[in-house]
Amino acid sequence: MTQNEILALIKREVVPAIGCTEPMCVALCVAHATEALGGEPESIQVGLSANVLKNAMGVGIPGTGMVGLPIAIALGALVGKSSYQLEVLHDCTPEAVERGKKLIAQGCINITLDKEACDNLYVDVVCKRGNHRSEAIIAHEHTRLVYLCCDNNVMLDERSSLHKTMIGEAGSDLTLQQVFDFATKTPIEDLEFINEARALNEKAAEEALKGNYGHELGKTLTRPLGKGIMGDTIFSHILSVTSCACDARMAGAMIPVMSNSGSGNQGIAATLPVVVFARENHNTDEELTRALVLSHLTAIYIKQSLGRLSALCGCVVASTGSSCGITYLMGGCYEQVAYSVKNMIANLAGMVCDGAKPSCALKVSSGVSTAVLSAMLAIQNKYVTNVEGLIEDDVDRCIHNLTRVGAKGMEETDRTVLDIMTHKVPACEA
């Protein structure tokens, strides 16, 4: 890939989002369908791929105090604006939430699993009002509208090109060496945009300290109990700041975060460990900027091969990126950055995604702690060797071994996880 192509790739994949990206993606699709219909729908039928359903079931929806898809769908119809993209519910108000609750109570929202979905990321929304019918489909990317129609008027149909796009991405020619060279050699003025990720995600962490979000892992780590166990160190600060941002986001705080490859948690995990380490290690602004680009671009590179949604937890991907960034901030060269990738893959390859939820803060913390440890080993030229598990001498082959396990090897795991999630016995019946 050329330098301009890589730059465009980062800017496309690192974007602001409010709330968990899967329910926001669904709300965005509903907003598209509602706008095409030209009025508030009387019924909404939503068909979802398994991975979208899995990640949208258990997360807080910003500004609502509620969890899950029905309220996201209702608000997408009532106040959603497609022009806001993943900030589609930016105009949510308490009044809108009450209207959304009434819409849900009327039973006009129907959510189904689309077992025939052509992609792991697939949302099909049909809205009806009187004799009028609209349909919108988002696929492959959280904001990629591929089909839009109202009655017999087809406004957009790019479904036929979807397969070609997927094939093209699967054959991405990015390598870790390219990623490293781009991050370390591109003129710094061309990379300054990445600092918006720092600003947004730090604000999310600060917000968590003001309220009671999720399981409060981040806040717990800042309290005497947390400091008594984990210490008051760079390491503990990385864990607490990163977990704080995840706590706030997954519990439905009305704040934007900078996402990576369609995931806010991945954006947080690729950003904040690097920021905290740079600040406390007294790295320069330029070094931090380059480390953030290295972290985010590494995560993007891995996700291109893995796919946007999979059975492998995204924290593995993003934390691998942050480990690369931290290694660079420690003074590491390309070889040592590659060592950190091998260490990450060897340790976290089996982490399972069981949906987006407040407890993701625990997984983020696990991934980030491993990121720091992997960087510490890498800077000392200590790394997992090719006789161990998924690791090969070629770091890019290591990455593709990981993504092969996550994308293909864990398909049955993914189905089993979703089956468990959708057939839980309510507490009152247990």
Same domain, 90 and 215: no
Domain closes at, from 122, 145, 166 = 166
Distance CA 114, CA 47 (A): 5
- How many domains does the structure of the chain reveal? 2
Same domain, 106 and 176: no
Same domain, 86 and 225: no
Domain that holds residue 283: 171-420
Domain closes at, from 110, 138, 166 = 166
Check pLDDT > 80 for residue 166.
Answer: no
Q: Is residue 427 part of a domain?
A: no
Q: Is residue 344 part of a domain?
A: yes
* Among 10, 21, 3, 5, residue whose Cα is nearest residue 355: 21
Give the DSSP per-residue string, 198-228: HHHHHHHHHHHHHS--TT-HHHHHHSHHHHH
Check pLDDT > 70 for residue 178.
Answer: yes
CATH classification of the domain holding 22: 3.30.1330
Taking CA atoms, 295 is separated from 38, 146, 289, 334, 355, in Å, by 43, 30, 10, 13, 23
Mean per-residue pLDDT over the chain, rounded: 91
Same domain, 339 and 363: yes
Distance CA 31, CA 127 (A): 10
Q: Is residue 429 part of a domain?
A: no
Average pLDDT rounded to a whole number, residues 359-369: 89
Same domain, 178 and 158: no
pLDDT at 314: 87
Q: How many Cα atoms within 13 Å fall on the side-chain side of residue 39?
A: 7
Distance CA 318, CA 272 (A): 11
pLDDT tens digits, 259-299: 999 889 999 999 999 999 999 999 999 999 999 999 999 99
CATH classification of the domain holding 231: 1.10.4100.10
Same domain, 116 and 229: no
Domain closes at, from 133, 148, 166 = 166
